[in-house]
A and B are shown apart, each in its own frame.
Chain A
Amino acid sequence: DTAVSQTPKYLVTQMGNDKSIKCEQNLGHDTMYWYKQDSKKFLKIMFSYNNKELIINETVPNRFSPKSPDKAHLNLHINSLELGDSAVYFCASSHTGTAQETQYFGPGTRLLVL
């Protein structure tokens, strides 16, 4: 019954590795997002996808690449992980993607890069 789910919940890895985080929503929403929350709890949008098209790409390194096989899934692939990538990554979704809609967040993936 989980509306927005993410895997894995925890991810510990070495610097330089490549990793992926998966997200799925069963709400029938058209838009999905990836947010990064740092240790100070600042929540910053990284990407959003609407009907499989990237509509936001904030100033994130190109080591981060979102991939959406269908509108219910938005995965985040990270190449050459760096220490500064350690954070909590949240997936979210909303109905059509306007700023007037509620966003529904997943439980988060806690990434630690050693």
Chain B
Amino acid sequence: GQQVMQIPQYQHVQEGEDFTTYCNSSTTLSNIQWYKQRPGGHPVFLIQLVKSGEVKKQKRLTFQFGEAKKNSSLHITATQTTDVGTYFCASGANNLFFGTGTRLTVIP
């Protein structure tokens, strides 16, 4: 399957700090999706990026797709305790393959 590497694996931040997770691929991606999984929950779709250089925002969340379509990032501004969970990127040509995930802990 298509390999999408995600870093960091874990991130601990103080509430109010920013957070970023990165996805990288050695090959050009047709698209990239982002999912969030709360502790004890299931992955929930956040957004999809398709175009080179695309930037999308959802309130405090900013998603970017690289110009070469080989990397993507999710940035959260001023984290809140409700942001805790594991964030996954996912991509694929015919089928969707998930990155390794970044587990975010927000310390109140």
Contacts and interface: CB of A to CB of B under 8 A. Distances in A.
B95 A45 contact: yes
23 contacts: A35-B98, A41-B37, A41-B100, A41-B103, A43-B43, A43-B101, A44-B98, A45-B95, A45-B97, A97-B95, A98-B94, A99-B91, A99-B92, A99-B93, A99-B94, A99-B96, A100-B48, A102-B45, A102-B48, A103-B43, A103-B45, A103-B96, A107-B42
B54 to A, nearest CB: 14
Contacts of B1: 45, 58
B67 to A, nearest CB: 20
Nearest to B96: A99
B44 A105 contact: yes
Interface in B24-46: 30-31, 33, 37, 41-45
B86 interface: yes
A104 B45 contact: yes
Interface residues of A, number: 22
Contacts, number: 53
A41 B42 contact: no
Nearest to A108: B42
B43 A45 contact: no
